[in-house]
């Protein structure tokens, strides 16, 4: 049994989202490469789950697979179950998935500077999502201004007409969050929402997500490689390496008493004020870790 397997399989029937034995394969030049291998986790209503791991561990493709945002077969094949309120989204047609994507499960993607379309104003881009998923809204501009104000953008009525290049990186990220929240989703998938931002802006974005979660009661799947932003925000942590979840526990428990060597190494990389390190922590090979941890 892998570390955290007990926690992975403890999927409550009251969960908003349940992912069971998720496998994702990519085919290239006749060879099949497994990016995600048997991942299972759940997210309860109003809960924040942080999926932590280094680049290439399978975090982002796991998030994209929830609503069918990965390439279609034969380039990519997804197996297992993604149960949203009991409905297996992997069995839904493309048309059915559009009813979930954005409306029920919304995304904040990496690098807002590239995720936002440079030739349209931010108001135009947010309006597109509202028209698609909330046709009952009559005053779209008022709804957009409300969303921009919710994410604490100064003078939202004026910023409505701005293009992405007129905004700072932090402001662009707030626009991405406003766009995601415009359709009142129940689950927000935030994929590296603090990437390329300085530490002050990172703290502001995390505080904003924390406030929005408390105000709106939505669930959040936070995808990050930075253990430093998890404490005080996430309720639980799932640690991914090489496409597998190696450990999954409550945040306070995993930060205080990590079990897997990879988790320990990641936590050891968190800067601590006043702690002097002669050398940076290194992560040993997977084979040696598994042998020492009893999984050879």
User: pLDDT digit string (tens) for 245-270?
Assistant: 999 999 999 999 999 999 998 888 77
Is 164 domain-assigned?
yes
Per-residue model confidence as pLDDT tens digits over 116-130:
999 999 999 999 989
pLDDT at 278: 64
pLDDT at 2: 44
- Residues 21 and 99 reside in one and the same domain: yes
- Residues 127 and 23 reside in one and the same domain: no
- Residues 52 and 92 reside in one and the same domain: yes
Alpha-carbon gap, residue 139 to 244, rounded angstroms: 46
- Residues 40 and 164 reside in one and the same domain: no
Range of the domain at 171: 115-184
Is 283 domain-assigned?
no
- Residues 179 and 255 reside in one and the same domain: no
Per-residue model confidence as pLDDT tens digits over 94-111:
999 998 999 999 999 888
Read off the pTM: 0.87
Sheet order of strands, 244-250 included: 105-108, 187-191, 219-224, 48-52, 236-241, 244-250
Looking at 161, 184, 207, which one is the last position of a domain?
184
Calculate mean pLDDT across residues 194-208.
Answer: 85
The total domain count for the chain is 2
| pLDDT for residue 277 is more than 70 | no
Is 58 domain-assigned?
yes
**Does residue 93 or residue 291 have the better pLDDT?**
93
pLDDT at 287: 47
- Residues 85 and 194 reside in one and the same domain: yes
- Residues 191 and 178 reside in one and the same domain: no
- Residues 213 and 236 reside in one and the same domain: yes
Is 252 domain-assigned?
yes
Percent of the chain at pLDDT above 70? 88
- Residues 119 and 219 reside in one and the same domain: no
CA angle 88, 234, 193 (to 5 degrees): 80
| pLDDT for residue 285 is more than 80 | no
- Residues 196 and 97 reside in one and the same domain: yes
- Residues 145 and 180 reside in one and the same domain: yes
Is 142 domain-assigned?
yes
Residue 282: other Cβ atoms inside 10 A: 8
- Residues 201 and 88 reside in one and the same domain: yes
pLDDT at 10: 44
Alpha-carbon gap, residue 107 to 116, rounded angstroms: 13
| pLDDT for residue 43 is more than 50 | yes
Burial of 25 (0-12, 13-18, 19+ CB in 10 A): middle
């Amino acid at each position: 049994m892998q570390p955290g397997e007990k926690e992975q399989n403890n999927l409550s029937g009251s969960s908003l989202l349940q992912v069971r034995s998720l496998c994702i394969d990519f085919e290239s030049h006749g060879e099949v490469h497994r990016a995600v291998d048997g991942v299972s986790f759940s997210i309860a209503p109003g809960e924040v789950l942080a999926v932590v791991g280094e680049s290439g561990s399978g975090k982002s493709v796991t998030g994209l697979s929830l609503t069918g945002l990965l390439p279609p077969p034969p380039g990519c094949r997804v197996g297992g179950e993604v149960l949203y309120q009991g409905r297996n989204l992997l069995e839904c047609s493309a048309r059915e998935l559009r009813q979930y994507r954005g409306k029920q499960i919304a995304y904040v993607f990496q690098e807002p500077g590239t995720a936002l379309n440079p030739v349209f104003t931010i108001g135009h881009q947010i309006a597109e999502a509202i028209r698609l998923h909330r046709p009952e809204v009559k005053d779209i501009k008022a709804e957009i201004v409300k969303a921009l104000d919710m994410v604490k953008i100064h003078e939202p009525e004026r910023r409505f007409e701005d293009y992405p290049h007129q905004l700072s990186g932090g402001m662009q990220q707030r626009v991405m969050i406003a766009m995601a929240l415009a359709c009142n989703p129940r689950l927000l998938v935030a994929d590296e929402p603090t990437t390329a931002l300085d530490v002050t802006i990172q703290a502001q974005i995390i505080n904003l997500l924390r406030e929005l979660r408390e105000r709106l009661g939505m669930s959040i799947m936070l995808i990050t490689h930075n253990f430093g932003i998890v404490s005080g925000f996430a309720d639980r942590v799932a640690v991914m390496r090489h496409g597998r979840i190696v450990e999954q526990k409550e945040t306070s428990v995993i930060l205080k008493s990590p079990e897997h060597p990879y988790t320990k190494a990641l936590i050891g990389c968190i800067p601590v004020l006043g702690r002097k390190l002669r050398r940076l922590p290194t992560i040993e090979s997977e084979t040696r870790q598994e042998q020492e941890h009893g999984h050879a």
